[in-house]
Chains A and B, each alone.
Chain A
């Protein structure tokens, strides 16, 4: 007997120009105690299903056909009053961002008891006891003190535990978790997923887990529904769907997931829906200045690097407080290698990259590029030449391109600034670059908002390559992208390294990606460098406890199919 049943659901958003069908005749059912994964790339309509079940569809969205039944009773089409009685009581929700889903002005106790009293009633003392039990149950130590604290006094993971407690406090039948761990570090992600798993079993709650992460699906769910472009393309037991995917799209999705275990030459791209775009590395390599990558001398010598950020301003030096983001970090990067920098958020990896890029001044230590000191930002002549040699690809493709500049202006800016070419030659070069990254010269006449995330990241790559640099810094270049797009972008980066001989500093928190991309990896923790090893050695035989812990928490994808997907090392 299924708890929640979605039958033939179609959700439409009428807009000014056309009718947009976000969910197209979708079916889905959840049993008590079952975790049902809903996976797909951005825009697939998975979150819209969640919103439809909660009765939280944003206007002008509407359920055009189909039914949603909770325990045999139809809940779609209920009026706002009846829906409010259900929402929060029978169905509750866990959101992605634990920071914004708790009210910062109330203590955890107040938020929990308010919800309990609203939906269940009873005395204040009962509600208090219940709140305490829940906080204890979701694994927050010292519940009596923690209950009276405010959300900002909790870490991200602890806050998400509070959100889970809040979702559970009315004993709902169904919980909808929309990307519950996307904003969290890997180590915390694993704990939260385990907790959700445990609680679903224990309380016989049906959970719909919405995610884009195949690793999370494989680890956590019992059943999975794969969505593409509003339609359900495949549904079944997780082990079965992951092990023997039937639909082409599922296959391409699974193939694109970076494997932590075997290293591949390139990410397999089984394209679906015509999303593959050419990347003309050969054209590019023909015009690229050849440089011998002398492996005996490192490109970068980084010694005793440190950086402090001012936390509290003060007129007098002893009134100021500092936060040490990077603490005495030293390493070399060899010519032509992909050097990985991994660590959890706040470990200082991005700060190191920004100091190398010259975006942050260095507080202590030195950076030498080809034997020349480049960490002194006041030496303008050295800086100018250095800036031509290094470029950076940023994490967020939505904010790394100026929305008010046309794409051809964006790509031409570095060429113009360094006066590498003049007049018509610049236009030709820009067209060529856009063509080579697979967008076509006509893309230059558009503005960034007319492109998707993956296409924008290609524009970023075109801009980065405009000055023909020797060194590329990639700061989480794919963490904002869907897996299939991620595979394309990572392949481009690999091509750049292999054919053009670029040296790449690759920063990521995603260990399987690092495993695929990097020759050597440095692990950072709280501003310090914990371990540097060749990638294969690190994954096979980590020296430090912290690296071992990180590897242990990495989502395992043992169940994933490798047959017939073209995966060879």
Chain B
């Protein structure tokens, strides 16, 4: 039965009301995991956006730092300056709480930008491969296969290394973030391309695509106006899960010292700084950034899982 029966409650009129009443929003409202995960993500994103307003110190401004404040434990006054820091300070006297907020900014920015870039590259290449087929498809997918045999982090490090070699030293710190984005994006496009190609191969043979060809539409309108909207839901799922992976990749690269520079620490840089002091008693430098990273990556991942289930009725 495809006919919808009149609902007893008042019919939704506005677009938002329609969406809120729809199955998608319903499944969201009735999934505790999705609710908690999105709450965590929203809080963290807001904290990152409004970091300059929330953070008591600016960790990127060396002028505000006082080396005397170094290694202050959380919530206790510093022995020399009597200043108190909510989550303590690191070796250079930077407030860990402020640094986490600013680091979160960098992590989220790099993660999101990398995923968007990877998505654009992957979706276009996947669509082209599926639509044209033949040697174009073979070439694109073989490149993807070859790239998949290397661990993503290795590819990212390689790209990062090359980029570092060709950029002049004076720009290196400024460029670092953007190089990081490109490196992660280039190591991550493959799964977008694969998923889009698979979905587009199915859509390509459906009759609505033939109908569009029959009208006389060219390849580009068919690919982007007809096929693309129909393969977007798996892309959305992959994008969410990739976001978590990209944030972790960024943290890993930064942890290895090839990512965000120490002057603009991301969560990964903070963890790297902290791990040096883990066994000398200054646990808070590592602990709090690590918890933040865990909460962020886990929430985004859980949201991705929920999205996959909600968009794929077969799994329910």
A residues at B contact (CB < 8 Å): 16-18, 20, 43, 354, 357-359, 383-384, 387-388, 390-392, 394-396, 399-405, 413-414, 417-418, 449-453, 460, 463, 467
Residue of B nearest to A18 (CB): B5
Bound-state CA distance A147–B176 (Å) is: 67
Does B216 lie within 8 Å of A384, measured CB to CB? yes
Does A399 lie within 8 Å of B230, measured CB to CB? no
Among A357, A395, A396, A402, the residue within 8 A (CB) of B214 is: A357
Bound-state CA distance A392–B216 (Å) is: 12
Among A20, A383, A391, the residue within 8 A (CB) of B1 is: A20
Chain B contact residues: over half helix, strand or loop, or mixed?
Answer: helix
Does B214 lie within 8 Å of A387, measured CB to CB? yes
Residues of B contacting A418 in the complex (Cβ-Cβ under 8 angstroms): 215-216
In whole Å, how far is A198's beta carbon from the nearest beta carbon of chain B?
Answer: 36
With A17-B5, A17-B7, A18-B5 in contact, is A401–B214 under 8 Å at CB? no
Residues of A contacting B212 in the complex (Cβ-Cβ under 8 angstroms): 402, 413
Does B216 lie within 8 Å of A383, measured CB to CB? yes
Bound-state CA distance A265–B211 (Å) is: 30
Residues of A contacting B24 in the complex (Cβ-Cβ under 8 angstroms): none
Does B230 lie within 8 Å of A403, measured CB to CB? yes
Residues of A contacting B23 in the complex (Cβ-Cβ under 8 angstroms): 16
Query: What 4 A-B pairs come out closest when comparing CB atoms?
Result: A404-B229, A400-B207, A387-B216, A394-B207
Q: List 21 A-B contacts (CB under 8 A).
A: A16-B23, A18-B5, A18-B7, A43-B1, A358-B214, A359-B210, A359-B213, A387-B216, A388-B216, A392-B211, A392-B214, A394-B207, A400-B207, A401-B208, A404-B229, A405-B226, A405-B229, A413-B212, A413-B217, A450-B4, A452-B2
Bound-state CA distance A400–B212 (Å) is: 9
Does B217 lie within 8 Å of A417, measured CB to CB? yes
Residues of B contacting A414 in the complex (Cβ-Cβ under 8 angstroms): 215
* Residues 1 to 58 of chain B near chain A (Cβ within 8 Å): 1-5, 7-8, 23, 26
Among B8, B207, B216, B229, the residue within 8 A (CB) of A395 is: B207
Does B5 lie within 8 Å of A394, measured CB to CB? no
B residues at A contact (CB < 8 Å): 1-5, 7-8, 23, 26, 206-208, 210-217, 226, 229-230
Does A463 lie within 8 Å of B211, measured CB to CB? yes
15 further contact pairs, Cβ within 8 A, besides A400-B208, A400-B210:
A43-B1, A43-B2, A354-B210, A358-B214, A383-B216, A390-B214, A391-B214, A395-B207, A399-B206, A401-B211, A402-B208, A404-B229, A417-B217, A418-B216, A453-B2
Residues of B contacting A359 in the complex (Cβ-Cβ under 8 angstroms): 210, 213-214
Does A394 lie within 8 Å of B211, measured CB to CB? yes
Residues of B contacting A402 in the complex (Cβ-Cβ under 8 angstroms): 208, 212, 226, 229-230
With A383-B216, A387-B216, A413-B217 in contact, is A400–B211 under 8 Å at CB? yes
Bound-state CA distance A18–B3 (Å) is: 12
Bound-state CA distance A354–B229 (Å) is: 25
Bound-state CA distance A43–B3 (Å) is: 10
Residue of B nearest to A19 (CB): B5
Bound-state CA distance A418–B2 (Å) is: 34
Residues of A contacting B8 in the complex (Cβ-Cβ under 8 angstroms): 18
Residues of A contacting B26 in the complex (Cβ-Cβ under 8 angstroms): 16
Residues of B contacting A390 in the complex (Cβ-Cβ under 8 angstroms): 214
Residue of A nearest to B211 (CB): A400
Residues of A contacting B216 in the complex (Cβ-Cβ under 8 angstroms): 383-384, 387-388, 417-418
In whole Å, how far is B205's beta carbon from the nearest beta carbon of chain A?
Answer: 9
Residues of B contacting A20 in the complex (Cβ-Cβ under 8 angstroms): 1, 5
Bound-state CA distance A190–B23 (Å) is: 44
Bound-state CA distance A59–B209 (Å) is: 35
Bound-state CA distance A401–B7 (Å) is: 27
